[in-house]
Amino acid sequence: MSHPPSADPVRFAYWVPNVSGGLVTSTIEQRTDWGYDYNRELAVLAENNGFDYALSQVRYMASYGAEFQHESTSFSLALLLATQRL
């Protein structure tokens, strides 16, 4: 059974690198930074390029060598203050 096409636009999101160690488990050096300045720049760039959402990670136990993280809710609020609609 097919569904009628949706009138809703496609919405895009990206994963916020708010944890150290990168976004994937890999032995390859990651090129992301978990710091606020880098993430603010990414949020503004994402918003200016049509992204609607920023998904921040919550990790309760450090693993794969990623030992640092920003608390998700507070960090999301800080990014919200740097953007208009993201």
Would you say the pTM of this structure is higher than 0.75?
A: yes
Which pLDDT belongs to residue 23?
73
Give per-residue pLDDT as tens, 41-82: 999 999 999 999 999 987 766 555 567 778 888 999 999 999
How is the chain split into domains, by residue range?
Answer: 32-58+67-86
Write the DSSP string, the chain. ---PPPSSPP--EEEE--BTT-SS--SSPP----SHHHHHHHHHHHHHTT--EEEE---SS-BTTB--B--HHHHHHHHHHH-S--
